[in-house]
């Protein structure tokens, strides 16, 4: 039986930005108060795992990976490096969203790149935390925290990565299978 891997295509973040977001996590946790820390409403993404997903591929047999790599190489040839601007860290209490994320401005370059991977109506965001639904439901709606804070940064996009997600009890481990450099912007 062929071995499988759980794959996705991502833009990895510069380490400086990952550190800033990790510090922001501490700030948000302290603002939420002890009761949220005790019940661990939020499962924060590990600093090294922060990324922007372009496409979740799913479980793929090892024999299919060379074809995926070839497809990404062909897509990357027609792209140039670019920048993404971030906007704010938030979640929508009204929609009972299950994520805290960092939103990005609309970017034609990012949307075009995502369309190459058949991602229609793509909306770039970086997941910072997942909200434990069963805990969150126990909190009265009017007592749920509000999280909305500006976070204006630029992310240089010089490469994309084919990543593997290995699920563990402690959370996912991500590793780069292959990195694809984008040609410099002309």
Split at pLDDT 50, 70, 90, the class of 92 is low
pTM of the model: 0.88
Split at pLDDT 50, 70, 90, the class of 1 is confident
| 97-116: pLDDT as tens digits | 678 899 999 899 999 999 99
The pLDDT value recorded for residue 153 is 95
C-alpha–C-alpha distance, residues 186 and 184, integer Å:
6
Name residue 173's beta-bridge partners: 166
Please state which of the ranges 5-19, 27-41, 156-170 shows the lowest mean pLDDT.
27-41
């Amino acid at each position: 039986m062929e071995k499988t891997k759980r794959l996705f295509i991502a833009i990895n973040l510069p380490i400086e930005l990952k550190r800033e977001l990790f510090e922001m996590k501490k700030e948000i946790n302290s603002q939420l108060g002890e009761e949220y820390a005790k019940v661990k409403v939020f499962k924060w993404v590990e600093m090294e795992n922060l990324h922007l997903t372009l496409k979740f591929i799913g479980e793929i047999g090892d024999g299919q990976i060379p074809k995926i790599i070839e497809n990404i190489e062909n897509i990357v040839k027609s792209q140039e490096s670019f920048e993404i601007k971030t906007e704010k860290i938030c979640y929508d209490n009204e929609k009972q969203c299950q994520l805290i994320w960092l939103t990005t401005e609309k970017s034609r370059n990012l949307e075009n790149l995502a369309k190459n991977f058949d991602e229609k109506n793509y909306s770039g965001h970086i997941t910072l935390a997942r909200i434990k639904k069963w805990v969150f439901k126990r909190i009265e709606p009017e007592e749920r925290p509000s999280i909305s804070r500006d976070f204006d940064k630029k992310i240089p996009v010089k490469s994309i990565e084919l990543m593997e997600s290995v699920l563990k009890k402690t959370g996912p481990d991500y590793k780069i299978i292959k990195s694809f450099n984008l040609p410099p912007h002309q």
